[in-house]
């Protein structure tokens, strides 16, 4: 153990210097922060093929802002989200690509799945045209390969370093950031664009599957379709979105006088090895504890824990049990969640939810959970914030949880930058 600790001291410090995002309720970090503080919902009713009217979180960003109409026509919704977020993150960080060696930049995008949207659309067109395969798009293969979102960023921005996706279900947003940290510390890249994206509401299959599982959130008011930790919760609201961060080694960021949003100081990835969909509280607890150990922090030194909190019965209960076991005695740790605002953004969830809390380092506010009115006693947690924002003297640390199907867990800790 001492060997690992000593090795950790020699690792490069990794900092966040830019953020680009699109969410169902905002298209940049400042607006997103204002939305979660004011409990602004991004959920609406929309028509889903074969499923009728469903609650979903849809983004409204300018697809043509950072790519040509020709590129968009050939590409995908996932690619459009990725390109928008990547360029916004670079602009926010003050990075000019023509002043950089493109081989030293990497793109690491977490995804739940990819290609379903395009495949469903093309099958639909096939059936509208008497199953004539000549109507099948010759763009199908590059649109549906798993590395497409990162590949579209590479093509659009001319980045020639390692650009790929990380399939990690709903833990993917954190996983993109973790992969970037590894690559920066290995010296494989000098700059990374990392986080997660999802275009899930544009496929009917995900709605049908959650419906079959009894896990699709529904309500006559779409803004109430998902109510994590509430006794009346009935499932997930499927949403799209994206959030990519510009990450750099601290020395490089300081050398160019960059603004630093925060420092990634600890993380852990582990697996339940127990069930296809049901979470395991013990493994989630271990994930958080290992992230704390790697950050050299005690539970009481964490100011905010952002729950994964999907709005499914067992998912919420198991996570709350795990969080209580780690942070239950801490008077200083406040707990919130974000899916009541924007629904479940799947591969983008972890990255977006971290962004929702990131500016707490500036305003020292803990944003409240939305749609929590009748707390499930099995989900009762100390310092759970769900009324008004809570003001702390100073917020220095955030632990962000993201968990996914097949039992993949991720916990990421970001600290307010201190020299």
Annotated catalytic sites, by residue? 170, 308, 344
Q: Is the dihedral of CA 113, 114, 117, 119 positive or negative?
A: negative
Q: Concatenated DSSP letters for 322-357?
A: HHHHHHTT-SS-EEE-SHHHH-B-GGGHHHHHHHHH
Residues 269, 16: Cα–Cα separation, whole Å: 20
Token pair, residue 207, equals 């709605």
Length of the chain: 419
Residues 143, 154: Cα–Cα separation, whole Å: 14
Quick one: DSSP state of residue 230?
B
Whether 24 contacts 40, CB under 8 Å? no
Whether 219 contacts 225, CB under 8 Å? yes
CA atoms within 13 A on the CB side of 264: 32
Neighbours of 139 (CB within 10 A): 14
Nearest residue to 108 (alpha-carbon basis) of 168, 177, 200: 177
Whether 399 contacts 302, CB under 8 Å? yes
Provide the CA 117 distance to its chain's centre, in angstroms.
Answer: 19
The phi and psi torsions of 170 (rounded to 5 degrees) equal -85, 5
């Amino acid at each position: 153990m001492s060997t690992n600790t000593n090795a950790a001291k020699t690792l490069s410090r990794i900092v966040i210097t830019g953020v680009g995002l699109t969410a169902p309720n905002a298209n940049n970090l400042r607006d997103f922060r204002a939305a979660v503080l004011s409990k602004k919902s991004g959920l609406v009713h929309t028509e889903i093929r074969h499923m009728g009217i469903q609650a979903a979180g849809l983004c409204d960003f300018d697809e043509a802002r950072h790519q040509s109409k020709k590129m968009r026509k050939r590409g995908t919704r996932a690619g459009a989200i990725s390109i928008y977020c990547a360029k916004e993150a670079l602009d926010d960080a003050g990075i000019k690509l023509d002043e950089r060696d493109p081989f030293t930049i990497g793109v690491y995008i977490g995804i739940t799945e990819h290609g379903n949207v395009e495949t469903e659309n093309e099958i639909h067109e096939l059936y509208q045209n008497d199953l004539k395969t000549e109507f099948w798009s010759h763009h199908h293969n590059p649109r549906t390969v798993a590395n497409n979102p990162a590949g579209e960023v590479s093509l659009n921005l001319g980045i020639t370093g390692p650009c790929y996706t990380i399939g990690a279900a709903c833990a993917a947003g954190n996983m993109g950031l973790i992969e970037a940290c590894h690559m920066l510390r290995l010296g494989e890249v000098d700059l990374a664009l990392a986080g997660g994206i999802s275009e899930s509401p544009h496929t009917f299959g995900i709605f049908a599957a959650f419906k079959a599982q009894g896990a699709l959130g529904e309500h006559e008011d779409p803004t109430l379709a998902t109510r994590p930790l509430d006794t009346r919760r009935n499932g997930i609201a499927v949403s799209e979105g994206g959030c990519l961060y510009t990450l750099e080694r601290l020395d490089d960021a300081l050398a160019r006088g960059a603004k630093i949003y925060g420092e990634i100081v600890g993380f852990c990835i582990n697996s339940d090895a127990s069930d296809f969909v049901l979470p395991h509280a013990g493994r989630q607890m271990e994930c958080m504890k290992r992230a704390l150990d790697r950050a050299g922090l005690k539970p009481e030194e964490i100011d905010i824990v952002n729950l994964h909190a999907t709005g499914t019965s067992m998912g919420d209960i198991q996570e709350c049990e795990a969080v209580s076991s780690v942070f239950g005695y801490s008077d200083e740790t406040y707990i919130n969640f974000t899916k009541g605002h924007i629904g479940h953004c799947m591969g983008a969830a972890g990255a977006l939810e971290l962004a929702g809390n990131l500016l707490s380092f500036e305003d020292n506010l803990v944003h409240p959970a939305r749609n929590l009115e009748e707390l499930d006693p099995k989900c009762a947690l100390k310092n759970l914030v769900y009324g008004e924002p809570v003001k702390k003297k100073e917020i220095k640390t955030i632990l962000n949880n993201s968990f996914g199907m097949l039992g993949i867990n991720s916990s990421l800790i970001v600290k307010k930058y201190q020299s």
